[in-house]
Structure 1
């Protein structure tokens, strides 16, 4: 156990009452106290901000601990290490002598070590006949062990604060993303509301985020952002509820149109294109047909009539079977209506770096529902497409020349999915 006496500094370094107090605190170690020196050092590193020490000072403390022969610091054993300046400098990553002395002073001032100066100021040890240490002069690690409980508590508090701050920053980032994309979706879909004021208020809140964030200054900002997000979601949900009756009527009308026997026909295997359509349905010469053959040509061909130069959309359930990945980007991670698909495509378009002009052109040529379906197909085949924007513009040009049919693309995805399921089973 460390002997309880006071040592004054060697040479011209003065003694002070603060130094005396720190020495006495360093000697006040409860009997039986032990700590693994490296675990305790890790706690010191965690609590560095609360202990007012620098990272270079911790390098010196690491070097001092390496001179202690055992892994356990114990109140029952001598805690003085006595390396020479040369050896200490080597273990401190080659730190210069002047820098070494400065950081040793920082550790002493922080109350993590204390000096045990010899009569001549040198560091050495005097051993007894049995080889044990009778007296050692150098640096005592007793203050570090005496403050072990305090250091560990401080380290745990700082770690908890850091984790809380990390979680808060993640929530803040998600909230910022949600608000920005919800406002963008509301503006693009012409949802009634003062979205300009909402966007201005959102930007004002963002400007208040400090560069040096802490739990205290982020908490009120996060609360405001979450409240803003909740208000936006309530507005959008209210608009959605108002649109439900008209949406239901539109869906019923679409089902009636799709059930019209004149709009779907089966062709003979050898007959395709306008001539076959005219023969089978008596269509006018300026009508066009869109064909998609499922099951590799073994089954009937599905033809969807064109209206006003744009193809009618395929059933939403069929699109979701062919392109299941798009559902992850829908509201709440699901797509239940065409509106949900349009909302998901807005997110996917930005994620795939497709410009608004490219998507608007596709909507103009193909129609909004089919343009959204094409984006879902592009997402599903993302690993095979290097430039989603360029690919969409190419499909749009082909659609303008009546050289692109959406059906075969969907059928290919359905066949690929069926093949994958068959291989797994």
Structure 2
């Protein structure tokens, strides 16, 4: 690039102060300065939001760099590439020429390319007597070379921010899991308090989580969940201290062995599995999994379903789901209605819902219609089993301790 010359665009394209500033910056190349083009391109991909570049603009830059004949960008290797629009479009996966021009303009406005137009606007190179290029007209990658350190530093900063956000999301996931499992313990142990209300609070907090939070949003949400975890833990500590735990190791050991070994894996409140990376749902309430209550709590609230289990008893979720199939037919609920409930609520909650409907069968005109209504509410995040189970437990004279 001719360091002392400032060039203006060909034809109707206007010259701007930003273009002038980029050209002036491009003349500040240090002697012997080099940069690996693909490493620099990857850094620019990481820092693209800072430069206001889209993936499509980067696709055009990638195609343009394939015309640069060396892996290292330097003045010695030349700084101008001069492919025609048709050649460039072919390497940009057949991009339309109008789209190509738009993204070339975006790269220039972002200050990573400079136009060096010929008198007639054509892109070409003149060769000297030895066959080397004496002068070229096209796009100069000099701004990339000059800004190499800046681009790399921004990319490193972006990577650190992304890592910190990932760490915050992991802590948030763990905290949500902790609260869910602690609520299960409280329900199983009969700790005093309205644990259905706590579970409902957890459900609402989970529903209002932003699918792709910023760092500040993640920090705010984490603080709220940590406060809830501390509150639940404090209540359980009171329950623990109120028991006659004299310090006898055998007593504690018996207490642990008598606990339900499946309570933390099979009966967890909240999500049954870790959330997968997925696109943001159209409805913010969609794709949120309902809470699963401990089966002991379900059976206390809905004892009528027990005789329909295998061998006239229910001791696991599998038994409850088998009983639910029998009850479904008996209540006149269609297979499709039950299948939709399973898809919207999960199989455990669908079976629990049928058990609740059976418990109140004498007061429900159409069990199938009622189930479809609850399924629709579950899909939109407006249905929780907590209040229903709590009402049935009270009706059956079952307290929460």
TM-score bracket, normalised by the shorter chain, equals 0.5 to 0.7
Residues 100-131 of structure 1 show CA distances to partners (whole Å, capped at 9, x for unaligned) of: 11111111111111100011110000011111
Residue segments in structure 2 that go unaligned for 5+ positions in a row: 273-291, 308-312, 324-401
Task: Tell me, yes or no, if structure 1 residue 349 matches structure 2 residue 266.
Answer: yes
Counterpart of 1:338 in structure 2 is: 255
What aligned pairs does 1:145-184 form with structure 2 within 5 A after superposition?
145-184=145-184
Please state if 1:389 is matched with 2:328: no
Indicate whether 1:105 and 2:105 are aligned.
yes
Match of 1:69 in 2: 69
- Mapped partners of 1:240, 1:354: distance in 2: 21
Which stretch of structure 1 is more off in the superposition, 85-94 or 353-362? Answer: 353-362
C-alpha distance in structure 2 between counterparts of 1:202 and 1:390, whole Å:
28
Equivalence map 1:132-211=2 (5 Å)? 132-211=132-211
Instruction: Return the TM-score normalized by structure 1.
Output: 0.61
1:94 matched residue in structure 2: 94
Say if 1:337 and 1:159 are closer, same or farther in 2 by CA, change over 3 A: farther
Deviation at 1:168, TM superposition (A): 1.0
Describe the superposition over 1:21-66 as per-residue Cα deviations: whole angstroms up to 9, x where unpaired. 1211222222222111000000011111111011111111001100
Q: 1:206, 1:390 → 2: CA distance?
A: 30
What SS does structure 1 have at the residue aligned with 2:32?
coil
Which whole-Å CA distance do the structure 2 matches of 1:213 and 1:171 have between them? 13
What SS class does the counterpart of residue 346 from structure 1 fall into? Answer: coil
Q: Please state whether the residue corresponding to 1:218 is helix, strand or coil.
A: helix
Equivalent-residue separation in structure 1 for 2:104 and 2:14 (angstroms): 16
State the distance in 2 between where 1:151 and 1:124 align.
Answer: 29
Deviates more, 1:190-199 or 1:131-140: 190-199
Q: Give the conservation status (yes or no) of the 8 Å contact 2:184–2:267.
A: no
Is the contact made by 2:18 and 2:109 (CA closer than 8 Å) also made in structure 1?
A: no
Change (3 A) 1:22 1:207: same
Aligned residue in 2 for 1:115 = 115
Gaps of at least 5 residues in structure 1 are 253-334, 366-370, 376-387, 395-425
Distance 1:360 1:348, change over 3 A: farther
Query: CA, structure 1 residues 341+55, in 2 after alignment: closer, same or farther (shift >3 Å)?
Result: farther
- Encode CA deviations 1:360-397: one digit per residue, 9 max, x unaligned: 599x99xxxxx9xx97xxxxxxxxxxxx7149979xxx
**Equivalences for residues 367-378 of structure 1 within 5 A:** none
* Conservation of the 8 A alpha-carbon contact between 1:38 and 1:71: yes
Compared CA separation, residues 340 and 142, structure 1 to 2 (3 A): farther
TM-score, normalised to structure 2, is 0.65
Contact 1:358–1:393 (8 Å) recurs in 2: no
Residue 174 of structure 1, CA deviation:
1.5
Q: Contact between 1:354 and 1:389, CA under 8 Å: does it hold in 2?
A: no
Structure 2 CA distance for partners of 1:24 and 1:336, relative to 1, 3 Å: farther
State the 1:241 CA deviation.
3.1
Q: Give me the CA root mean square deviation.
A: 3.3
Q: Which gives a bigger RCO, structure 1 or 2 (Cα 8 Å, sep 6+)?
A: 2
Counterparts of 1:341 and 1:79, CA distance in 2? 76
Q: Distance in 2 between matches of 1:245 and 1:12?
A: 86
SS in 1 for 2:240: helix
